[in-house]
Structures are given as C-alpha cells and as structure tokens.
Structure 1
C-alpha cells in the first residue's frame, strides 16, 4: 500500500513539474522568447539566427517534441535598437510567460535589457540563453548570473585577430567600428590585445548604427588612410562594413580587412560579390573574418551534416518579416542558431527530469562534456556561463568564406 502511494506521488510530482510554467509555457509548449532585428539594415542577422534555430526545433517537434512538449520561438522585432528590445523583453516575460529568453541579437540591445532581466530575477528566475553577441557586460558582474552564452567573446575574437596579424608582421592596426556598445566592446578588445604587444591603434573611426551599404564611408576611409595601417579590423554589421570595404578599396587601401563574427559574413559577401560583378573590380580579396562556430563546409563534423540536411528544407523567415529578403542557403549565423537550439533542447530535456524540479538554472549548470558534433564539448557550471571558447578564422575563396589555414600569404 505504501509503495503504491509512493509511486502515485512520484507520478503526480512528475506531472506537475512537466506542466509548470518553469518547465513549459502555454499550451504544453516550451516557449522561448526572442527579440532581434527582423527589419532594417541588420535584419539578416535576426532572420538567419531564427531560421537556423527553427530548422533544429522543427526536427525535434516532428519527432514529438521534448517529453511531449513542442518547442516554439516567440519572436519580436526590435530593429537592432535598444528601446524596442526593452519593451519586447517586458512583454515576453510578463504577458507571454516564456520559459526562457533566447537568441537575442546585438550588444546595444542586450546590454540595455540586462538590468530588466536582473529586475525580473528579484521576483522569480528569468534567464537569457545564447545571445548573438560576444560583449563583456553579460559575462561580468552584476549580470553574468542571468545569462548563459554559447559563443566565444569579442575579447577572444579580437585577441586572435591581433595575435595572428602580429605574427605575420602586421603591427600597424587601424579600427573601424560602430559607435555604440558593440563597437566599443570590439575596440576595447583590440586595444587590450595590442597593449600586450606594446602597440597602439594607429587610426580609428566610427559610423552610426543603422548605416546602409548605400551610405558613403569615404570620410572614415580618409581618417584610416592617414594612419598608414598594414591591417584594419572592423567591428560592425554587414551593410556598413561592406560599404567601408568598397570605399577603402576604391581609395587604394589594399591591406587585409578583418571583421568579427557578428558582421554576418555571407550577407556582407553577397553585397560585395554583386558590386564586383557589376564593376569588374574584385572587392572580396584580402578579407578575413573571425567566426565562433566551425565552417558549415566541414562535412566531417556530424553537426554540419545535420545542419545542412535541416536547412535543405528551407525554413522560412519569421512570419510577417523577410518579404524583401532572400534567405541564405547556409551561413555561419544560421549554423550558430542551429547549435544554439541543439544545446537549448538538451537543457529543456533536463528541465523535464524530476531531479531538476523544473529549475532551468540547475539544469543548465549540469551540462558537462556535451558533444553536439562540432569536435569540442560544451560545459557549463558555477562561474562558467560560456559554453565554448573556440575562435575560427575564414577568408574568401571561390565566392565563399572558407577556413583560413595559412596567414603567411599576408606576411610582410
């Protein structure tokens, strides 16, 4: 009799946990709240991140979901601007009662919602998972407890770029960056990396967030040119950075131009490819982009094969957006979204287990040596809210960004 009651109690407890708001959102789903740019000159970032995550969750849902719960992304557009991101966050938490915040895009937006997330945690736990930004604020006190990052930081990306340029004799580094928290985060990483080598930035200039490919960057190019750099690192989004490459090459600056992962490599390359075809001048040469995920061309990796198969089904842009946008077949951003979703699904699977009692924080901290098929394991824990530290480097060959295997081609 006692054994039967114990079994019944355990079944009831499991049912309650699986049905609780901490485990699943409305209508027996895990509801993930995403605020990102789905309109404006940076819309490709939000759209591709969403498409990659959707590709994986569609696969999971087709198999019955996670313990019977489907995973749904509730998406809201912030245009890559802080104020809408704040409003979206409040709505997602208070009205939509999301299981977790997920896949936010951009430093200027994420840094502004961090105090909001911290405030919500004074009432009940609320966490942001895997934002598409390598900035420091969500990795440091007082906000690091409320955010889990998958990707490497901008400090790691910029250190790697500076180090590799230094090793091939390119010590005069200039910086072109977005005039906001994102740009300053990248600028600070570059400055710190140069200081380690007793070097300084030789020239720097900024542009306003929201600049398009049609905008002139000639004024910025002239400032950079006066510094006589032998390499340039850009910290921006794809339209503005493509415009800068165009105007720099037209002004005769022929040094390597590097970009961080956030730029949106394929979106930038598409703009420069079109320009190259129409002008007869190659604007895609001597470009180096750092990445925080492996190349989606490396089919020796199981995750790459899974991603390519999922993306072949061509997940659409979020409903109501992307009417003037042509989705990319593959991209580093959609691959990152795919990996974000893969790790998130594992966390949600653990949340459903009785030992975690619907506690997503404890479930995430329990992730150890998680193999997601990219050749390096994911680990979280107390004081470790960043799952990956790898930085990869790519350059353009045959119309696409491919792994950069030898920097000596630019040796001075």
Structure 2
C-alpha cells in the first residue's frame, strides 16, 4: 500500500518558520511492516501519519513538529526487542502501535530499562494488562472481550451450534477463553474446541469435519493467512456456516485475500464505524483523509489515527517547555482524554483504555458493514 502524502505535510513543508523547521518530537513505531501482518500494520501507520501531518501543519506541539520513526520487526519478538532498543537510542519519547502479543511482550524489558512508554499496542493480550505493565497504555479492548462479543452476536441471531477453532499459541488461548465466557453467558457450550499450528495451519481436514457435523457457526481465531485458509477450506467443503474472527483481521488486505469468500465474514471491531460521520472522531479523520486525497478509511487506519491523537493529547499536557519520556507518562496517568466521542481514562493502577467492542460483516462491496 502506498503511503499517504498528507495535504497537511505539504502545507507544513511550504512554511519556512513552522514546526517542521524546529527540533522534532520523535515518536517510534515497531511493527511488522513485512511479514504476515504487513497490510494492517501499514494501514495503522497511514492513519497515524494522517493526524501527525495535520498537527504539524498547525505548528506542532509547543513549536515542535512530530516525526514518526518506524522499524520493521517482521512480526518477530527478538527483532522487535532490538528495534525498540534502536529507537530508544534515537531519542523517541514514546512507542506506539506495536502489533502482536509476542513482539510486544519482547519489548517490555526495553520499556522498563529506558523508561519508555508504549501507547496503543495493537494487541488485546491479557498478559499485557494483568498484572499492570507500568509503561504500557492500551487503547483497544482485550482479545477476551472481542471474542466474547463475537459469540454473543452469533447467539443473538439464533445460532446455537458453535465451534471454536483457534491458533495454538498465547493469542489463541487468550481469545479462546473469551469465546468460552461468551458461550457461558448465553447458556451455550462449544460443539468442539479445536486448535491448529500457527506455522502449518493445514485446516482443510478440520473444516471438512466441521461441514459434515452441520456446525452453524465458527469462531475462527488466528492470523490472517490462517483464517483465509480456514474460510476457503470451509466453503470448499460445502458449508455455509457463519464465520466470525477478530479485529486483527480488520484490514482491506484480509478481505482481498479472501476474494469471493469474503462476503458475510463477521469481524469484531474496536472503534466506531469508520464511515459513520455521526461520530466526532470518525468525522475528523474522514475530513483529513479527504483533504489528503482519500475518500475513505479502513478500521486499522482509524485505530492509527486515534492512537496518534492520544499521543498528541499527552504531549500537550506535559508540563514545562521540555518534553521527556517520564513527563509524557506522567501526563497520561490520571488523564481523561476525549478522542472524539470516546473517553479514555488512565490512572497509575489502570492502563486499560477503552472497553468498546462492535461487530461488522464484510459486505458484497468488500467493505466492513455495521
């Protein structure tokens, strides 16, 4: 995907005495710009740049422009830790939008050693929330809450025979617990709870068995490539069962990979509908996107936009002229921040962020409908 050339960035470049000419406030992003999550990572980075460009065009923060420095961790934990160290040495004030449980967990020692905050990691892992990680500030809801929401949606449309198919790793185990809780809450039990290997999903036999069993719906928890393989195998086996997956697959790239089998797939979402101009955050993001030559947003772009707005609001609240890492973290602790119809509250004992969850369905146009 090509990076946006924001109108705001072009305006900033044309003004000789603006924030772009001052010393920049460096923000880092370590995520899988290549590898299995590349599409959604690039989308979230695009959304962040959209907001940072707009702030820079207005003069930046206290006369300083915001510079987003990115490092590709290839969705690998060891690489993520090394990349976080590299950005820490380059003077970033905070990291943002890491993707994946393993890579984010690998960064925790780096955050502690460098007193470096991480804002809005794109993971809902409970291991990053309990116990509290003092340098991690979440934006999105947990994987467990997402999976619970997916199950309750299926039950609300009359589905009773539900199977859980999850990747056999910490992410899958975590989200799987949420699916089980959702089933318990609606007085249902999983018809089966199956696991697959992340590196070799080999889901065709599993989906054939599910089709023969007459299962009405599958909660399919895993990375995009595995979910695509599973959906295609299910349809090839002749099943018309509902498929629900989580927001880690809420990208246009995921829909493209599914092709003709995308229509009807249910995907949980963690922010308001990206086409709903009734929401102030979405309305603001869409306005800036259109000014930059884009007519729409994806869910991942909106998450990146919201994360960037959270970073900017924290930067504005840092006391004094000089902005540092500890001051940035202190500005978040105890803060109540309105991102535009979404209230984020942090305290020294709670960095949980939002609890918002929703469901979408891929429509015939390949867009996420709600």
Same fold (TM over 0.5): yes
Task: Tell me if the contact between 2:143 and 2:175 (Cα under 8 Å) persists in the aligned partners.
Answer: yes
Counterpart position of 2:33: 38
**Number of residue pairs aligned between Structure 1 and Structure 2:** 348
RMSD over equivalenced CA pairs, Å = 2.6
Q: Please name the residue that 1:130 is paired with.
A: 120
Q: Is the contact between residue 166 and residue 194 of structure 2 (CA under 8 Å) also seen in structure 1? A: yes
Name the residue aligned to 2:329. 361
Answering whether residue 319 of structure 2 is matched by residue 349 of structure 1, we say no
1:356 offset after TM fit, Å?
Answer: 9.2
Q: Equivalent of 1:203, from 179, 188, 192? A: 192
Report deviation, 1:210.
6.0
2:78 maps to 1:100: no
Which position in structure 2 is the counterpart of 1:20? none
Change (3 A) 1:384 1:42: same
**Structure possessing the higher radius of gyration over alpha carbons:** 1
Structure-2 separation of matches of 1:266 and 1:60: 27
Other-structure match for 1:245: 231
1:240: how far off?
Answer: 2.4
| Structure 1 SS opposite 2:90 | coil
1:221-250 deviations in whole A, cap 9, x for unaligned?
135446542211122232321221111111
Residue matched to 2:180: 191
Q: Which residue in 1 is equivalent to 2:343?
A: 377
Contact 1:36 1:85 in 2 (8 A): yes
Cα displacement string for residues 359-408 of structure 1 (whole angstroms, at most 9, x for unaligned residues)? 1222002421x3322x332222232212211111111224144443xxxx
Question: Using the alignment, how far apart are the partners of 1:299 and 1:247 within structure 2?
Answer: 37
- Indicate conservation of the 8 Å contact 1:351/1:363, yes or no: yes
- Note the residue ranges of structure 1 that are not aligned, 5 or more in a row: 1-26, 277-282, 316-326, 405-412
1:166-188 CA-to-partner distances (Å, cap 9, x unmatched) read: 33332332222233222222112
Aligned 1:179-328 pairs, distance under 5 A: 179-197=168-186, 199-209=188-198, 217-225=203-211, 228-273=214-259, 276=260, 283-312=261-290
Q: Is 2:49 aligned against 1:75? A: no
Please state if 1:114 is matched with 2:108: yes
Report the secondary structure of 1:297's partner residue.
coil
Give me the whole-angstrom Cα distance separating, in 1, the residues matched to 2:225 and 2:314: 35
1:174 counterpart SS class: strand
Q: Which residue of structure 1 aligns with residue 15 of structure 2?
A: none
Say which is worse superposed, 355-364 or 46-55, in terms of deviation: 355-364
Which sections of structure 2, spanning at least 5 residues, go unmatched?
Answer: 1-21
Deviation at 1:60, TM superposition (A): 0.7
Q: Which residue of structure 2 aligns with residue 18 of structure 1?
A: none
Kindly state the Cα deviation for residue 208 of structure 1 after the two structures are TM-superposed: 4.2
TM-score under structure 1 normalisation? 0.77
Sort the Cα spacing of 1:312 and 1:207 in 2 relative to 1 into closer, same or farther, 3 A.
farther
Pick aligned residue for 1:66 from 61, 66, 70: 61
Q: Name the stretch that deviates more: 249-258 or 304-313.
A: 304-313
Match of 1:320 in 2: none
Distance 1:46 1:344 in 2: 18
- How far apart in 1 are the matches of 2:257 and 2:30? 25
Deviation at 1:340, TM superposition (A): 0.5
Once the two structures are overlaid, the 10-residue window that deviates more, 340-349 or 260-269, is 260-269
Q: Mean Cα displacement is larger for which, 380-389 or 56-65?
A: 380-389
Instruction: Using structure 2 for the length normalisation, give the TM-score.
Output: 0.85
Contact 1:135 1:154 in 2 (8 A): yes
Shift in Å, 1:352: 4.5
Residue matched to 1:148? 137
What is the Cα deviation at residue 40 of structure 1?
1.9
Give me the whole-angstrom Cα distance separating, in 2, the residues matched to 1:50 and 1:265: 13
